A and B are shown apart, each in its own frame.
Chain A
Amino acid sequence: GENVEQHPSTLSVQEGDSAVIKCTYSDSASNYFPWYKQELGKGPQLIIDIRSNVGEKKDQRIAVTLNKTAKHFSLHITETQPEDSAVYFCAASTNNNDMRFGAGTRLTVKP
């Protein structure tokens, strides 16, 4: 089955800097890649997703890139703010019913 690895496990940046989180996947048939943000005591919330027919997608300060050949995708957050502090999860899915998640990255944005 699919295996998703996520790096780094923790990331600390200064407010205003950029943050990058990287994930690799093993199943070349994976075709849907969502990113979730999880705040303390809450469930994960989708922040951006990308399908395999697209190489990059942006939504304001958030962007995701996908390299199908290398089987990796990345989350980019620009102009980070303290409220961006949370745990971020990447995921990969072939048929979207067996979605595999990365282990998570705890992002801390220092004011």
Chain B
Amino acid sequence: NAGVTQTPKFRVLKTGQSMTLLCAQDMNHEYMYWYRQDPGMGLRLIHYSVGEGTTAKGEVPDGYNVSRLKKQNFLLGLESAAPSQTSVYFCASRAGLYQPQHFGDGTRLSIL
């Protein structure tokens, strides 16, 4: 089992460029999440989804959009990248309430 797979692993963007981060899970999980991790701040929830076709805002949603067109995929989009969005992005999924979240290995994004 691959678990949670994130692509790409690294990316450098220029301010104003757009890009999409892909998260794929093969565990048939209903719930999927996007977090960002910054030094000294732990993980902060950007957006999440409780099932195919649904999305909701987390703690820090501004500047990001998401889509969950297929149950196994959760996409995170940056429409106009800003230096403040330089971070490591983690995707996670879980089967249900009180079940552990399974994380991918992250995407390191630098915006110049």
Contact A44 B43 (CB under 8 A): yes
Residues of B within 8 A of A36 (CB): 103
Give, as a whole number of angstroms, the nearest-CB distance from B7 to chain A: 14
Closest residue of chain B to A49 (Cβ to Cβ) is: B100
The contact size tier of chain A is: 20 to 34
Give a binary string over A11-39; 1 marks a CB under 8 Å from any B CB, 0 the rest. 00000000000000000000010101000
Contact B101 A46 (CB under 8 A): yes
Contact A41 B98 (CB under 8 A): no
Contact B106 A97 (CB under 8 A): no
Residues of B within 8 A of A100 (CB): 45, 59
Residue B56 at the chain A interface, CB threshold 8 Å = yes
Could you say which of A4, A32, A45, A98 contacts B45, with CB atoms under 8 Å apart?
A98
Contact B103 A103 (CB under 8 A): no
Residues of A within 8 A of B100 (CB): 34, 46, 49
Known A43-B106, A45-B103; contact A98-B42, beta-carbon cutoff 8 A: no
Contact A44 B103 (CB under 8 A): yes
Number of interface residues of B (CB under 8 A): 25
Give, as a whole number of angstroms, the nearest-CB distance from A55 to chain B: 17
Contact A1 B59 (CB under 8 A): yes
Tell me, in angstroms, the Cα distance from A95 to B59 when the chains sit together: 14
Give a binary string over B88-110; 1 marks a CB under 8 Å from any A CB, 0 the rest. 00101010011011111110000
Give, as a whole number of angstroms, the nearest-CB distance from A72 to chain B: 17
Could you say which of A41, A43, A49 contacts B103, with CB atoms under 8 Å apart?
A43
Known A44-B43, A101-B43; contact A96-B97, beta-carbon cutoff 8 A: yes
